[in-house]
Each structure stands twice: as C-alpha cells, then as structure tokens.
Structure 1
Amino acid sequence: EDGLDEIRRKLTDTSHSRLPVSDGGADTMIGVLQTREALSVILSGGKLDVRALVREAPIVPDSMDAMRVLETLRGANVPMLLVHDEYGHFEGILTPGDVLEAIAGVFRSDIDEGETDEYAVLRQDGSWFIDGAMPIDEMAERLGIALPERRNYHTAAGLVIEAMQHLPKTGETVEAHGWCFEVVDLDGRRIDKILASRLPA
C-alpha cells in the first residue's frame, strides 16, 4: 500500500535482489518482489503494480530443521522462504546462502584479515582437529580420502552431515571413508570443529 515514491526509494536504496512484501503489516506477508522486475517497470515509464509482480514464497515455521528447509527451497518459485513463529508472527526470511552458511560455515574469502585460516591441525596420536569450513578437497588430500566425483557438499562439515543424514549434536560420531568423525563443537547449528580419527584397517 506504500506510495510510488516510497516504493521507488526502497527499490533504489536496497542492495538485495528480492524483497518480502506485506499487505498492511509484517504479519501479513503475501510474497516476494523481484527488485529488477519492479525497477524495469519504473524505468520504462509503466505503471507499477506491486501486487501483480509479487511471487508466492513458501511460509515455514521457525522450528523447521535445515534439511527440510533445503528441500522447501529447492521446490520454491523464488529462492526465499518467509519464516513465521508458532503464533503466525513474521520472523524474517531464509535464503540458500543463509542455510549454506549455517551448515558449512564461512568461506576462506569471507575470513577477515588477521584471522587464522588454518583448517586442520595434526595431533600427536595421528588424529586431525578440523575446522568445519575446511574445503572438502583439502581435507581429502590431508586424510588420504578418495571422494566420489558426484557429491552435494563442499566442506568438511558437509561431508559429516551427508554421512549422518541429519544435523548433529555435539559429541555425535559417524564413520565414513575409513575415518571416524566426531562433532567436537557447534556454532548454533553449524558444525564448527571436527575430530577425525583413522579407523583400524
């Protein structure tokens, strides 16, 4: 219901490619607006009808686990989910980038200057203390693991989740590729630290 000038300001000021749209308030979300589509109408001199451009986005509860979130994102018309609590109040949005960071952690390019980027430390007993964000190819090289060519993960944390088939709790272990992987530390739902111990031959 915002006026054209207010909508134009929001579209030009935002750095996001998609914006959630509500009908009268935050608890009445109706979908997602693709910024470029709205700007295209404005720049061409056409009459902007926000409702006509809104695309339906799935509404999910804030209690949904990450694996189900990923499945819902895969089937969505737009890569964005609208999150509500048990009372139906709008809490925020989720994108594929949010889920990837929650599961795999930040990437090396996102590490601030001065922070360590040492992903793996060899312990005296031959086990490895591994950062969950360690690129899977680097970890495979360190541990001597032969990875399948087709895989859906890119980090050490992703390998562990793939092997467990669920988001783990601290202390959980799984055996894969001749190694036992123990989840040593979690940062929220993200696997932060992993202890990898070689299994007996």
Structure 2
Amino acid sequence: MSLFEHVLIIVLLISVSAFFSMSEIALAASRKQRLRQLLSDGELRAKQVLALQEHPGSFFTIIQIGLNAVAILGGILGEAAFTPTFVELLKFVYDGPALQSLGFGLSVFFVTALFILFADLMPKRLAMLAPEQVAVAVVRPILLLLIVLKPLVWLFNSIANLVFKIFNVPIQRKDQITPEDIISMMDEGAEAGVLQQQEHKLLENVFDMDQRTVTSAMTPRESLIYFVLKETPESIKAKIAEHPHAKFIVCDQALDRVVGYVDTRDILMQVLHEQSISLSKEGILRTPLIIPDTLSLYEALAQFKASGVDFAVILNEYALVVGMITLKDVMSIVMGELVNSEEEQIVKRDDDSWLVEGLTPLDDVMRVLSIDQFPDQENYETIAGFMMYMLRKIPKRTDFVLHQGYKFEVVDIDNYKIDQLLVTKVKQEI
C-alpha cells in the first residue's frame, strides 16, 4: 500500500479509537439524575444508557476489545507506513548502522503520539464536558456491537466474572447517594454560581438538623419562666408583663413536676371577661409535648408536626427538665442568617474579636469562627461546656483557653456559670 493509503487507514483507526474512548468516559461520568431528566424530556436513548449503567460489564468488554484491537492494528500499520519515510528523512543528517532502528523508533513515537492525542486524551476531555449527551449519542452503536460481538463479549465477561467471584468483588454498580454527596454537590453549585450563597446556606442548615440535638437550640432550664399551680393572679400578671411569651409551662411547686402549659390568650380571655385569673379552671391547662434531650432537631420537627403543638419540654435521662424548645427555635436554625442579620448570642466587636454568651451552642461558634472541630466535642454542647471541659475546674474571670488560633477568655461569671466570653484571634509570631 502507498503512504497515502496507510495514512487513511491510520486516520480511520484513530477515529474508531476516539469513538470508544468517548463512549467509555461518557458512560462512566453520566449522572443518573441527569439521564432520568433527559428521559422525562422525551430522550428515549437515556433509558438505554441507564440500563447499561446497571450492568456495565458487557459495555466495558466491548470498549476494551475495540481499544486494544485498534491499538494493535495501529502499531502494525504505523510501523509499516512511517518507518521508511523517517528512514529517508534521517538520511539527510545521519546514515549509519542505527539508521533503521532510529527510523522505527521515530515511527512508533509518532503513531503513539497521534493515538494519545487524537484517540484518547482529546476525545475523553470532550466527553467530560457533556457526558450525558455523548452517552445517548453513542449508546445505539454500542448496543449493535454488543449483538455482533456477543460470543467474544460472553467469553471475556465469563472469565472476568469468575475472577471477581473468587475474590468476592461485586459485579454490579450500586449508586448510594449520601448526605455528604449532596452537600458536596451543593458546594460545587455554590462555587459555580448555580446556587446563591443564601440558598446554599439554607440547604446546608437543613442537613445540619439531623446532626444537632434539641439541646443546641433550646431555652435552657435556668432561663425558663414558668407558673406553679397556686400562682397568684398578681404574680401571673407580673410574669406575663415582664416576659410576654405566648405559652408558659405550669408546674406543681417545682419545675421538674410539669403538669401542663397555659396559653396566654386564655388568660387574656379571663381578663376581658372580668373573671379572676386562675390556672385551675377547666380547659386552661393543656397537655404539653415532652421529648428527650437526645432527639435531633429533625426528629423534634417531626414530633411538632405529629402532635400539632409548637413547643416542647425537654427532659434528660433522670426525668429532669433541661429546657424548652419551640418550633420557632427549630426554624431559626434552618433559616439562620436569612432571618437574622447576626448571631444573637455572638456579637462581633471588630475583625479579630467577638463577645460570646456562655450558653451559645457549639455549632454556632464553629460556624461563625470557621472552626472545624473542638476537642472531644461529644462531651459538651455549649461554649461554656468547652471551657469547663478544657480547664477541668469551675472557671473564674480571666481564665482562658487557646484553640485553633483563638483565645477564649472568661469575662463574666454569674453564680459559677460562665455568662460571657471574649474570643480573640491570636496573632502568630513570625
């Protein structure tokens, strides 16, 4: 054959190899969600691609048969086609005993470079730009090859499956999407500009609900305002005036003996009808929702939905009241900065310092200060708990802890309780 005929055959082989390369990377990189979307839009070939992804063994067998056969033919024909040409060109600069070997080496390098560039590297990079579109374009020719080369496919597949079975390796692809996968996709969407920063934060908060317990968003025990069964009308009025909440827990003498809750609208109705204010009247007390302190925020939200109540009393393992949480508390965690311009418990003084309330949930501190983790953080839930855990004592003013480039210093103590911390960035010495 002439040099021109050899070149035509090499070009044809490169084209065939490029087809197999694009097909391989397109099927591997195609996302099932996107393929299902194409199918719902009327692209029937997407269904065939999905079927191949479920059982990719035969597909990859065809690809490897095609790539290896083309590579072998390309090497044989390339050596025969270009070696004489390179020998003639080398004669202008060298005509020694190694001339034939040099010509053969240059021929191999030239053909290999052509296949790497035009049959492998460039087609795969193009396929990665739009894998789903490429996959639906090549799926029917691939299915035709599967029929034509079925005996070879069966032979190689059987051998491969036998080896996998010996080593207990699964032969089918399993796509299990985890929350981490979704968060990773959201991060990529935010970086690409598909998701706005606020949308990204909202979705991140939703997934965070399953990791945070109700104690991270509750009103703690020492901040609860409650009534006792024998509360006087004057005391009830005073508490409502000073703390205008919608609902109040009602207890039998002590906070840990919760008997119900009262809606302030019912008390208002008593005032409007000029009746004496009393918590013992029929219909005033309502049954409260009681939940354990081990529930996640997502589970608490499900409890609110099931009970039709928008607040709950939280008990620990000893049946002691540790706090109270409302539906608003849960939703404020979800909405985050979308509804609050700044963290209520974290006040930024300047670029390098913050005032933080002791009862601030650890997750909020981690988010604001961009801290990845605290040491042994499963042992405490608030920044005050972190200080006590690290100091190994009841803190006093000026006590401090250094962690991840920040200095956490106690600045206010209220009856042995850490009321406020000053957090400052520690400047690194050069």
User: TM-score by structure 1 length?
Assistant: 0.52
Q: CA RMSD in A?
A: 2.9
Select the structure that is richer in helix: 2
- The correspondence for 1:94, drawn from 318, 325, 331, is 325
| Aligned mates of 1:59, 1:189 — CA distance in 2 | 28
What's the CA shift string for 1:145-195, capped at 9, x where partnerless? Answer: xxxxxxxxxxxxxxxxxxxxxxxxxxxxxxxxxxxxxxxxx82599778xx
| Aligned mates of 2:299, 2:365 — CA distance in 1 | 14
| Aligned mates of 1:190, 1:74 — CA distance in 2 | 29
| Aligned mates of 1:73, 1:191 — CA distance in 2 | 26
- The correspondence for 2:341, drawn from 97, 108, 111, is 111
Match of 2:297 in 1: 66
Larger RCO, structure (CA 8 Å, separation 6 or more):
1
Match of 1:36 in 2: 265
CA contact (8 A) 1:103 1:189 kept: no
| Aligned mates of 1:50, 1:73 — CA distance in 2 | 24
Match status 1:25 vs 2:254? yes
What's the CA shift string for 1:73-102, capped at 9, x where partnerless? Answer: 112243110001111111111111111223
SS in 2 for 1:54: coil
Query: Alignment identity in percent?
Result: 21
Match status 1:9 vs 2:185? no
Match of 2:363 in 1: 187
Q: Which amino acid aligns with 1:71?
A: A
1:70–1:14: structure 2 CA closer, same or farther, 3 Å change rule?
same
SS in 2 for 1:50: coil
SS in 2 for 1:41: helix
Match of 1:85 in 2: 316
Alignment: residue pair count: 122
Q: Which amino acid aligns with 1:111?
A: S
Shift of 1:104: 3.8
1:102–1:190: structure 2 CA closer, same or farther, 3 Å change rule?
farther
Select the structure that is richer in strand: 1
1:187–1:104: structure 2 CA closer, same or farther, 3 Å change rule?
farther
| Aligned mates of 2:363, 2:300 — CA distance in 1 | 18
CA contact (8 A) 1:56 1:77 kept: no
1:190–1:88: structure 2 CA closer, same or farther, 3 Å change rule?
farther
Q: Which amino acid aligns with 2:242?
A: D
| Aligned mates of 2:317, 2:364 — CA distance in 1 | 21
Shift of 1:11: 2.2
| Aligned mates of 1:74, 1:191 — CA distance in 2 | 28
What's the CA shift string for 1:113-151, capped at 9, x where partnerless? Answer: x98xxxxxxxxxxxxxxxxxxxxxxxxxxxxxxxxxxxx
| Aligned mates of 2:244, 2:233 — CA distance in 1 | 19
Match of 2:414 in 1: none
Match of 2:106 in 1: none
CA contact (8 A) 2:250 2:260 kept: yes
Q: Which runs of 5+ in 2 are unaligned?
A: 1-229, 349-361, 371-430
| Aligned mates of 1:67, 1:80 — CA distance in 2 | 14
Shift of 1:27: 0.1
CA contact (8 A) 1:103 1:191 kept: no
1:191–1:100: structure 2 CA closer, same or farther, 3 Å change rule?
farther
Shift of 1:8: 1.9
| Aligned mates of 1:89, 1:13 — CA distance in 2 | 26
Q: Which amino acid aligns with 1:2?
A: E
Q: Which amino acid aligns with 1:23?
A: D
